[in-house]
Amino acid sequence: MLNRGISLLVVIPPPDNHQSDIPRFQVGNFPPLFAEWNDHFRDAARRFWLHYDLPLGAFAGRFAASSDVFKRNDRLPSAAINLVTAHDGFTLRDCVCFNHKHNEANGEENRDGTNNNYSNNHGKEGLGGTLDLVERRRDSIHALLTTLLLSQGTPMLLAGDEHGHSQHGNNNAYCQDNQLTWLDWS
């Protein structure tokens, strides 16, 4: 008789509901078989490469699977799902092109979405710019992607980040079913 093992991966994103009875910040408190989005890594990578205000030791801890958070209960480094961007928030390109959210199209007078993006427009708000500006932004994208792919843990890449997709500074585009969020695969 064949032994048919069943594999199951449970991914826990941080809860979005601020009204929930679940405490807002539970990263690292789930049992060993759970994998969790490591938003500690996201914030550290952005602060290190885009704001230059994170000490090297703190960055190294996040790069090495955030063991201070995930080593509890003998969890493996793979429990940390490292990310720089996700479906909610700036795309990778927007992280290097916008300092502020631009969610006016969402119909909530730009009150929706986080104001804490850890982004850096490199001196000019918006897409485009001089060759020097475009190159500095490209270098920041390369640094963030390299950090993500080489870090200890499980990398998560937002679809579209690999080819520079932008949502034009909209960091809460869930309600936009149009060219703002569609991926151009041509």
Distances (CA, A) of 138 to 133, 141, 163: 9, 5, 11
- The three-class DSSP label of residue 58 is helix
How far is 105 from 99, CA to CA, in rounded Å?
17
pLDDT, position 94 = 99
- Long-range CB pairs of 98-102 (<8 Å, 24+ gap) are 98/125, 98/126, 98/169, 99/125, 100/125, 100/169, 101/169, 101/170, 101/171, 101/172, 102/168, 102/169, 102/170
| 186 residues of the chain, pLDDT tens digit each | 455 666 666 666 665 544 445 454 678 888 888 888 999 999 999 999 999 999 999 999 999 999 998 887 788 899 999 999 999 999 999 999 999 999 999 999 999 999 999 999 999 999 999 999 999 999 999 999 999 999 999 999 999 999 999 999 999 999 999 999 999 888
Q: What phi, psi does 37 have (nearest 5°)?
A: -60, 130
Nearest to 114 by CA among 126, 105, 122, 102: 102
How far is 88 from 64, CA to CA, in rounded Å?
25
pLDDT, position 27 = 82
Paired with 83 in beta bridges are 156
pLDDT, position 18 = 42
Domain limits, the chain: 10-14+24-171
pLDDT, position 57 = 96
pLDDT, position 19 = 44
